[in-house]
Amino acid sequence: MKAVDAIKLFGLNNLSIESDLPKIEQSHDIDLGHQQPDQNKRDQIYYPQFSQKLREEREAMSVHYSIFYCLENSIRKLISDRLTDEHGADWWKQPNVVPQNVVKNCEDNRRREIQSGITPRSENMIDYSNFGELGEILRCNWSVFSDTFRDLGAVNRILTSLNTLRAPIAHCKALAEDEVLRLHLALRDWFRQMGS
């Protein structure tokens, strides 16, 4: 494993550990320095129309969103960096590097954003992909990534699980307790796959 990958892995692992700190603070009524000091004041200014229950769910879900945000973008960066090293800067457009169904879906997602009149999220087409599509890119280029991950089948299973867990977060629904555990296990499994 490259030193940069090890540092990223360390950071993501810490993010996973941090996700339980708010629950510990709340259940033991202690301040571990994890909460923002003006959070209650901010809630009174910006969120008074929302119930306390919704605000508490929002806070709990923000940690899971942060994990997904960091993980999904770190996987995109890993793929982009390695395929740029292997195939050059235009790797996305080269035949047999990115599966055509992934290319088409990402192009469709970008086109919908442009046609909606909103600012496109990125110029990089990989930023329009999801966990499942990232898995397809890894699978298609396994010879490039086989020194980074232990097992292709395990990587596919983990990414499929993460893609399923992503839906409630993307659609603003609380994760059930079992799904939170599943998220943390999937994250640990991912890190384990990147271990040497």
Q: Is the pLDDT reported for residue 1 higher than 70?
A: no
pLDDT of residue 42: 65
* Average pLDDT over every residue of 42-67: 81
Question: What is the reported pTM?
Answer: 0.75
* Average pLDDT over every residue of 179-184: 92
Q: Is the pLDDT reported for residue 196 higher than 60?
A: no
pLDDT of residue 47: 67
Give the number of C-alpha atoms closer than 13 A to the C-alpha of residue 134, restricted to the C-beta side. 24
> What digits encode the pLDDT tens for the residues 27-43?
777 766 665 556 666 66
pLDDT of residue 45: 67
Pick the residue with more confidence: 50 or 100? 100
> What digits encode the pLDDT tens for the residues 75-113?
999 999 999 999 999 999 999 999 999 999 999 999 999
Q: Is the pLDDT reported for residue 190 higher than 90?
A: yes
pLDDT of residue 194: 86
pLDDT of residue 157: 93
pLDDT of residue 142: 96
> What digits encode the pLDDT tens for the residues 135-180?
999 999 999 999 999 999 999 999 999 989 988 888 888 888 999 9
Distance CA 108, CA 91 (A): 19
